[in-house]
Amino acid sequence: MLVNALGRLREDGGNRLVSERLTFTIAETAKLIGISRNNAYSLARQDKLGVKVLYFGRRMLVSKSALMALLEDNGNKTEENENGK
């Protein structure tokens, strides 16, 4: 993945802990979807990013599962348009 893993920890084999990231920052989301950081923040503030933005104080996060669902859904719509549906 583009970013370092964080979030929920799970046991991986012996005593080594591996983390699994559950959220992305707005800047990371922008990189993943190919838009500018400023545009992503602007869309997030206007509630037009396409996914629910989670607020923790001033910190704005996007759920990984919601972002992946959005990208998969848009991918399916693109395929349908190409196939004339």
Which whole-number Å values give the CA distances from 47 to 3, 32, 40, 72, 85, in the listed order?
A: 24, 18, 10, 20, 29
CATH number for the domain that contains residue 61 = 1.10.1660
Q: Is 3 part of any domain?
A: no
- Any domain includes 68: yes
Secondary structure letter of residue 4 according to DSSP: -
Domain that holds residue 31: 8-82
What stretches of the chain show up as alpha helix (H) in DSSP?
26-33, 37-45, 64-82
Structurally, the chain folds into a number of domains equal to: 1
pLDDT (tens digit per residue) in 55-77: 999 999 999 999 989 888 876 76
Q: Is residue 2 part of a domain?
A: no
**pLDDT, mean over the chain:** 77
* Residue 38 located in a structural domain: yes
Is 25 or 11 the better-scoring residue by pLDDT? 25
The answer for residues whose C-beta is within 8 angstroms of residue 69's C-beta and 6 or more apart is none
Q: Alpha carbon 56 to chain centroid distance?
A: 16
pTM above 0.75, yes or no: no
Q: Confirm whether 28 is domain-assigned.
A: yes
Q: Is the pLDDT of residue 15 over 60?
A: no
Residues 54/61, Cβ–Cβ less than 8 Å: yes
Would residue 53 count as lying in a domain?
yes
